[in-house]
Amino acid sequence: MIKYEEKQIPARTEKIYVDTECDFCGQSVHAHLGNYDVDDVTIVSNYGKQFPGKTYLQNISVDMCGSCFRAKMLPWLTEHMLKGRTPLVEGEKD
């Protein structure tokens, strides 16, 4: 005979991704985007050591919306880091 008893299972808390806020303006990086719009910015530095089968890496990352990247970061990079060179722009635009 298989027996059952009722037990109360405590609710659990999970960490679920909700959104990413821009570290510069505080807005959601997905704000003002339509269903098919893409406006990704990835600024991350991975550093450490990588051996066959074992990796010891740390990273530093900044969350930034596309608007802040184009309006704030890109002009600063162009002026201070790229020394006036034009940043690479690739992709199709209709």
Binding site for Zn ion (CB under 5 A): 22, 24-25, 65, 68
Q: How far is the CB of 28 from Zn ion (least distance, A)?
A: 9
Which residues, in sequence order, are CB contacts of 72 under 8 Å at separation 6+? Answer: 24
Q: Which is nearer to Zn ion, 50 or 61 (CB)?
A: 61
Angle 83-69-76 from CA coordinates, rounded to 5°: 25
Q: Which is nearer to Zn ion, 63 or 78 (CB)?
A: 63
CB-CB contact of 30 with 71 (8 Å): no
Q: How far is the CB of 25 from Zn ion (least distance, A)?
A: 3
